Structure 1
Amino acid sequence: MAKTSVQYLCSECGWSGPKWYGRCPECGQWGTIEEFHETRAAAGVARGSGAGGRTAAPGRTARTTPGTVPQSAAARPITQIDTDAVTRVPTGFAEFDRVLGGGIVPGSVVLIAGEPGIGKSTLLLETAGNIARGVRDAAKSVLYISGEESLAQVRMRATRINAVEPNLLLASTTDLATALGLIEQERPALAIVDSAQTIVSQDVDGISGGSTQVREVASALIDTAKSLDVPVFLVGHVTKDGSIAGPRTLEHLVDVVCQFEGDAQTALRMLRAVKNRFGPTDEVGCFDMSGEGIEEVSDPSGLFLSASGAGVGADGKPEPPVEGTCVTFTLDGHRSLPIEVQSLVTSSVLPTPRRAVNGVDSNRIAMLTAVLYRHGKVNLLANDLYVSTIAGGLAKEPACDLAIVAALASAAKSKAIARTTCAIGEISLTGQVRPAPRLEYRLREAARLGFTTAVVPTLRKRVTIPRLRIVEVSSLRDALAALGL
């Protein structure tokens, strides 16, 4: 018979132990220890599992002779294990495949987390439609299990995003045993469970979405995915501080953890791989949310740049550049993205001048203002400062310091920086301009987008990029002089 052991788990850090504590001994959080009942097989009973399939149905056990090892679990030399037969399944989105490392690995479990309403279900439903549309085997299908919506509601969304396919199977249930039975019965090319917080197991105690239930649901889905060689996409909710809801061990159990991010006020969505056992973790995918679903953005370079000062006026002459703006280049994974920093400097009527920022670090602005006054001889300490980026871009990387300072100095002196000039570099408290990582990669992207001048820190080795004039500076004063400020 199966024996039930009682363990106590921390929902914050995943610590487990045989005794309850009011305060977690690992992370020090109060009130995070919860009771978890784990069912273990008795001696002489083993659960069949292996690469070729299960030897017993889910929830059942197969008896073996005590002391023997099942054939599927026998140890083999690593040189005899073949990986050529593993074929990744494309998602239909090149950006999604980039984040996953080239596609979906059979038998993998991918956790997609994000804030409510960000578009997780829409992304996965459209991915399910793409895979179902490209399935050549008539016996294969894509299974979408929803624990949050009814079948009619899922069908309405699928109709809107053009994901209605005969090979796309829908199911609505919150019972874990039913979901596992559907996956074992259909053996789909991809199974999507939406979401981990709504599926409930009848074998363990706890409310829906609790640490005990989420851990049991994730463990059962992982066991089924590995045994049947079926990839599973699992949707996860996030807490108010942005972390994934449930026990921290959930992120350790799955193979891939992806964060779907974006600003609710803009249509841009970013998919980042926080953990990936089958690919890199520094890739990022760009998507655009529209009324017809989600579209991938293969070249997001123009999203964070404004059109001011780059067009032609009513008289047919080019528009003059606008003061208070400067362009820099940030790194997001393997991508180099241009970010336009805009600033506004006004006289303050308040005892304490106001500092309003959007897309940049407010503490960084306070430090750069002091450095600009001390080493750049530009006094903005008594002015109201407003600093922002375009289209929700983030300029919180230290390499954006030079562009922020240039935008502030441009607004203060009412002198515009040329539209084809960019500035990249970190500024220290001593007024020195420090190098930025992978600077050559950023400069090549700047040249590709049509920039002709780049103000950068002193390079360690000579870099020559066609159609781009590189101006090397070592101090903040030299950088302002090179920018005409």
Structure 2
Amino acid sequence: MAKEKTVFYCKECGTESLRWIGKCPGCGAWNSMVEHKEVKKTKANRGFINTAETARPLKIDAIPSQDQQRLATNMSEFDQLVGGGIVVGSLTLIGGEPGIGKSTLLLQLAENIAKTGKKVLYVSGEESMYQIKLRAERLGVADDNILIYAENSIEQILACIESENPEFLIIDSIQTVYVESVDNTPGSVTQIRESAAYLMKIAKQLHIATFLVGHVTKEGSIAGPKILEHMVDTVLYFEGEQNDMYRILRTVKNRFGAANEIAVFEMKEEGLVQIINPSEIFLEERQEEKSGISVVATVEGTRPVLIEIQSLLAPTFFGNPRRTSSGIEHNRTALILAVLETRAGLALQNQDVYLKVVAGMKIADPAADLGIACSVASAFYNKPLPAATVVIGELGLTGEVRRVSRIEERINEARKLGFEQIFVPKGNWTHIKDKQYVKSVETIGDLLKALKLQGKQ
């Protein structure tokens, strides 16, 4: 007879504990530990995949090579995002704020795949079939190869999969489905983990490309145990606010392609429309004659992208000046401001600093450090940067400008959009073939001097 074990899980991050504790040791959340009873599995049902090919270990040279079969979605931006198309038998998790476009995107992907003759099964645990039909009519989605199934039970879903034999499966969402043999409510840590395990087994054994929709917590991470993100092959996150017209889909994890890739979509009445050249969208409303604006060349996955950074400085009336940033990590902002104060002589201790990355983008590329610093310096001296200027480089604590990777791709993207003055680290200078529009700098002081951003405030 199966044995029951009582454990406690953090509903925010999934950290496991044998006893209840007030503060989660994993994420630091208070009163987030929830009691769950787990049934110990027998040897017969352990593991996910039991096939003839995995019955015994093989030498690596004896394993036959196989080409990855991919499903084309007819959306070039999405195909590039996931590495060239959806891999057959893969398990993908997509998360984002409510109303940002997860179900809309998946319904559009379902139609594009169905048009190629593939059978698609769309399983919804949140909406009725009639609600999905209304959304499909608004998006203009109509294809006989798309099957809609409103069900929460994993056992019933698996039975439907066996009878219909789809090639593309959508589960909307993983927090609403449940395994009947597990004595927990849908959305609990145990149910999410067990449901994902069943779906992963089906995807791998039957070679079904599967998408799971995941709800997010108030911090923006996917709700449920962290093991959920480790189990799946690909994790996609929607960035930005649902009220913005642009939606940014980012690859956080991808076993079949590059991570940190982005695809940009515009939300319209007919659904999500892909943006072929994101750099043009991010810069279309740029005002060159305004202070506090700079343009940086970042690399998102395999794609160079030009992004505008805006800064605003205001006198502080309190003892501690405010440091507010959107799209830039707070500690990174504090570090760059400290370097500007200490190494470049900017008196920021009595200034509130507000930083923003346009279009809801989030920048993690170190090469954007110089752009952030130049934006703040431009706002501090109230002087705009020279027209058609791009800055690229990482900023060190001593004020030095450090070299960055893939400098040629960044320069080519800037030249493609008509920028005629590109500042790069001195360490990258020897690796640049065409130096006609490129200038090198060694320190942040040298850069501010070249941009004529020094003088009285």
Worse-matched range after superposition: 126-135 or 460-469: 460-469
Whether 1:360 aligns to 2:328 is yes
Secondary structure of the structure 1 residue equivalent to 2:103: helix
8 Å Cα contact 1:114/1:261 also seen in 2: yes
- Aligned ranges for residues 383-394 of structure 1 at < 5 Å? 383-394=351-362
Residues in 1 aligned to 2:47 and 2:212: alpha-carbon distance in whole angstroms? 27
Secondary structure of the structure 1 residue equivalent to 2:427: coil
Q: Give 1:208's aligned residue.
A: 186
**Letter matched to residue 42 of structure 2:** R
CA deviations on 1:314-354 (whole Å, 9 max, x unpaired) are: xxxxxxx3233221122221122212222334445555544
CA deviations on 1:417-460 (whole Å, 9 max, x unpaired) are: 22211112233333222223333332222122211111222125
Whether 1:36 aligns to 2:4 is no
Q: Give 1:190's aligned residue.
A: 168
Q: Give 2:114's aligned residue.
A: 132
CA deviations on 1:74-129 (whole Å, 9 max, x unpaired) are: 55555554444652111232222223222222222222222222211111111111
8 Å Cα contact 1:423/1:454 also seen in 2: yes
**Letter matched to residue 224 of structure 1:** I
Residues in 2 aligned to 1:458 and 1:447: alpha-carbon distance in whole angstroms? 19
Residues in 2 aligned to 1:402 and 1:71: alpha-carbon distance in whole angstroms? 53
Residues in 1 aligned to 2:283 and 2:64: alpha-carbon distance in whole angstroms? 48
Relative distance call for 1:396 and 1:73 in structure 2 (3 A) is closer
8 Å Cα contact 1:11/1:246 also seen in 2: no
- Aligned ranges for residues 263-302 of structure 1 at < 5 Å? 263-302=241-280
- Find 1:180's aligned residue among 132, 143, 158: 158
Q: Give 1:164's aligned residue.
A: 142
Q: Give 2:416's aligned residue.
A: 448
CA deviations on 1:270-322 (whole Å, 9 max, x unpaired) are: 32333333333232222222221112222101222253446xxxxxxxxxx32
Q: Give 2:86's aligned residue.
A: 104
Relative distance call for 1:392 and 1:107 in structure 2 (3 A) is closer
Residues in 2 aligned to 1:306 and 1:212: alpha-carbon distance in whole angstroms? 47
Count, aligned residues: 447
RMSD after superposition? 3.2
Q: Give 1:88's aligned residue.
A: 70
Residues in 2 aligned to 1:383 and 1:48: alpha-carbon distance in whole angstroms? 59
- Find 1:22's aligned residue among 20, 23, 26: 20
Residues in 2 aligned to 1:14 and 1:128: alpha-carbon distance in whole angstroms? 31
Secondary structure of the structure 2 residue equivalent to 1:416: coil
Task: Give the TM-score taking structure 2 as reference length.
Answer: 0.86
Relative distance call for 1:305 and 1:372 in structure 2 (3 A) is same
Moved over 6 A (4+): 13-17, 45-48
Greater C-alpha radius of gyration: 1
- Find 1:257's aligned residue among 220, 235, 257: 235
**Letter matched to residue 37 of structure 1:** V
8 Å Cα contact 1:444/1:465 also seen in 2: no
**Letter matched to residue 105 of structure 1:** V
Q: Give 1:403's aligned residue.
A: 371
Q: Give 2:385's aligned residue.
A: 417
Superposed displacement of residue 154, structure 1: 0.3
Secondary structure of the structure 1 residue equivalent to 2:87: coil
Superposed displacement of residue 7, structure 1: 4.5
**Letter matched to residue 381 of structure 2:** K
Relative distance call for 1:39 and 1:111 in structure 2 (3 A) is same
Secondary structure of the structure 2 residue equivalent to 1:387: strand
Relative distance call for 1:437 and 1:209 in structure 2 (3 A) is same
Residues in 1 aligned to 2:50 and 2:364: alpha-carbon distance in whole angstroms? 47
Superposed displacement of residue 130, structure 1: 0.7
Superposed displacement of residue 364, structure 1: 4.1
Relative distance call for 1:479 and 1:149 in structure 2 (3 A) is same
Relative distance call for 1:413 and 1:262 in structure 2 (3 A) is closer
Whether 1:120 aligns to 2:120 is no
Secondary structure of the structure 1 residue equivalent to 2:225: coil
Residues in 1 aligned to 2:139 and 2:329: alpha-carbon distance in whole angstroms? 37
8 Å Cα contact 1:267/1:289 also seen in 2: yes
Residues in 1 aligned to 2:447 and 2:2: alpha-carbon distance in whole angstroms? 68
Residues in 2 aligned to 1:386 and 1:243: alpha-carbon distance in whole angstroms? 25
Q: Give 2:210's aligned residue.
A: 232
8 Å Cα contact 2:9/2:35 also seen in 1: yes
8 Å Cα contact 2:24/2:33 also seen in 1: no
8 Å Cα contact 1:255/1:277 also seen in 2: yes
Q: Give 1:462's aligned residue.
A: 430
- Find 2:4's aligned residue among 3, 6, 15: 6
Residues in 2 aligned to 1:418 and 1:251: alpha-carbon distance in whole angstroms? 45
Residues in 1 aligned to 2:213 and 2:36: alpha-carbon distance in whole angstroms? 23
Residues in 2 aligned to 1:42 and 1:287: alpha-carbon distance in whole angstroms? 46
Residues in 2 aligned to 1:388 and 1:444: alpha-carbon distance in whole angstroms? 25
Residues in 2 aligned to 1:257 and 1:47: alpha-carbon distance in whole angstroms? 20
Q: Give 1:314's aligned residue.
A: none
Relative distance call for 1:278 and 1:181 in structure 2 (3 A) is same
- Aligned ranges for residues 138-157 of structure 1 at < 5 Å? 140-157=118-135
Relative distance call for 1:208 and 1:291 in structure 2 (3 A) is same
**Letter matched to residue 296 of structure 2:** T
- Find 1:332's aligned residue among 292, 300, 309: 300
- Find 1:480's aligned residue among 443, 448, 452: 448
8 Å Cα contact 2:286/2:308 also seen in 1: no
- Stretches of structure 1 that go unaligned for 5 or more consecutive residues are 51-69, 311-320
- Stretches of structure 2 that go unaligned for 5 or more consecutive residues are none
8 Å Cα contact 1:304/1:389 also seen in 2: no
Relative distance call for 1:87 and 1:391 in structure 2 (3 A) is closer
Relative distance call for 1:87 and 1:227 in structure 2 (3 A) is same
Secondary structure of the structure 2 residue equivalent to 1:134: coil
Relative distance call for 1:432 and 1:224 in structure 2 (3 A) is closer
Relative distance call for 1:467 and 1:303 in structure 2 (3 A) is farther
Residues in 2 aligned to 1:94 and 1:152: alpha-carbon distance in whole angstroms? 30
Superposed displacement of residue 211, structure 1: 1.6
8 Å Cα contact 2:239/2:361 also seen in 1: no
